[in-house]
Amino acid sequence: MDHLGNPDKNIGPIPIAKPSPPKYAAFEDQAAHANETDYVSERPLILYAYFETELARKNLQFYITHALHNAADFLFIFNGETNANELLPEAGNIRFIHRENKCYDLGAFAEVLTTNDLYKKYKRYITMNASIRGPFLPYWSEGCWSDMYLSKITEETKLVGMTMNCNIHNHIQSMIWAYDRTTIEILLFPSAPLVKKYKEILGPYVLDPVTPVPAMTAPGINSCPHEYWDAVAIEVYATGLIQAAGYKVDAMMFAFHSSAKYQETCKENGDVLVHGRYYGMDLHPYDTVFAKTNRGIGPLVLERLTDWTDGNGYTSYDRCHI
């Protein structure tokens, strides 16, 4: 089955973007190959979505201090009114754009990636938002946080995140996703046969009384939801779309790897990003490299690891290399 639809006849509400004036200067690596129309970077592209809140700003400041490095291109998407861009250092691999606060994070990523076909200039991607803080790594770890996620992408596995939520439909939660070109093309332009197959797998829609995720109306991420639960639906159905295409997904949390049948038996724990719901515990940041900060999970652990990482002077520039 051909899983990629015709971009000019995209199923989602947002058509493929037409060339438009750039909203940010070209990344240094891209500028160096400006005369190569088919140039595709070996560097990953990391998109970071931000909306101004007190907690988001703390997370952004931590990220700037500890997560930035020279082995990737970083594009910050500032949604709505904010001056947070003033916190960013000036570097050839760091850029930002301002946009209206619309379409939620996944819709924003789709808009940015399709504008001037940005996604075609890369092979690997990470999309994330300011609801998480990190990286948090133990002293003995020598690895690079972005490599930890991207290294899990293989010929078989095409979507990696922190956690799997087993409410409604099992899905990799979208506060951080790592994936490759195959994945993003499926999520942006799913073919009609793939969507038909996935709808058959889903079966008749049944409204959940606790988590009112609506039926799938816009397969993939290339749409602009205006309501919260419509945005949640896009996240929830994305994982199944990748699986319907014949690929696997992965989560960094260790419980996901505790059994070959984890996805068949995880319903009892549902959303693990709830206090005490990670099998009687709170999910620890060392399990997933990043911590979800707006759920009240392990506040003392978050405070201590934040202080210790700041005090240690940890920087990803020392760990992440091309």
Token code pair at residue 287: 């399990």
Q: Which of 114, 116, 134 is nearest to 125 (CA)?
A: 114
Determine contact, residues 244/260, Cβ cutoff 8 Å: no
- Is the bond into 138 cis (omega within 30 degrees of 0)? no
Per the DSSP assignment, residues forming a β-bridge with 51 are: 79
pLDDT tens per residue, range 46-90: 999 999 999 999 999 999 999 999 999 999 999 999 999 999 999
Q: Is 76 helix (H, G, I), strand (E, B) or coil?
A: strand
pTM of the model: 0.93
The predicted pLDDT at position 16 comes to 44
C-alpha Rg value of the chain to the nearest Å: 19
Secondary structure of 164-218 as H, E, C letters: EECCCCCEECCCEEEEEHHHHHHHHCECHHHHHHHHHHHCCCCCCCCCCCCCCCC
121: left (phi over 0), alpha (psi -120 to 50) or beta: alpha
Residues 6+ apart with CB under 8 A from 87: 60, 61, 64
Q: Which secondary-structure segment (H or E) carries 49?
A: strand 45-51
List C-alpha distances in Å: 236 to 48, 63, 150, 293.
Answer: 20, 26, 21, 20
pLDDT of residue 138: 97
> In this structure, are residues 178 and 126 in contact, taking their beta carbons and an 8 Å threshold?
yes
Q: Structural domain boundaries of the chain? A: 7-309
* pLDDT tens sequence across 51-63: 999 999 999 999 9
CA 302 distance to own-chain centroid: 21
User: What pLDDT digit, counting tens, does each position of 97-135 carry?
Assistant: 999 999 999 999 999 999 999 999 999 999 999 999 999
Output the pLDDT for position 209: 80
Work out the pLDDT band at 18, boundaries 50, 70, 90: low
Q: Report the top-level CATH class of 7-309.
A: alpha beta
Task: Give the count of alpha carbons within 13 A of 149, CB side only.
Answer: 26
Burial 252-283 (b: 16+ CB within 10 A, else e): bbebbeeeeeebeebeebebbbbeebbeeebb
- Give percent above pLDDT 70 in the chain: 93
pLDDT-derived band at 7, boundaries 50, 70, 90 = very low
Highest mean pLDDT of the ranges 6-20, 174-188, 207-221: 174-188
User: What whole-number distance in Å separates Cα of residue 88 and Cα of residue 25?
Assistant: 15
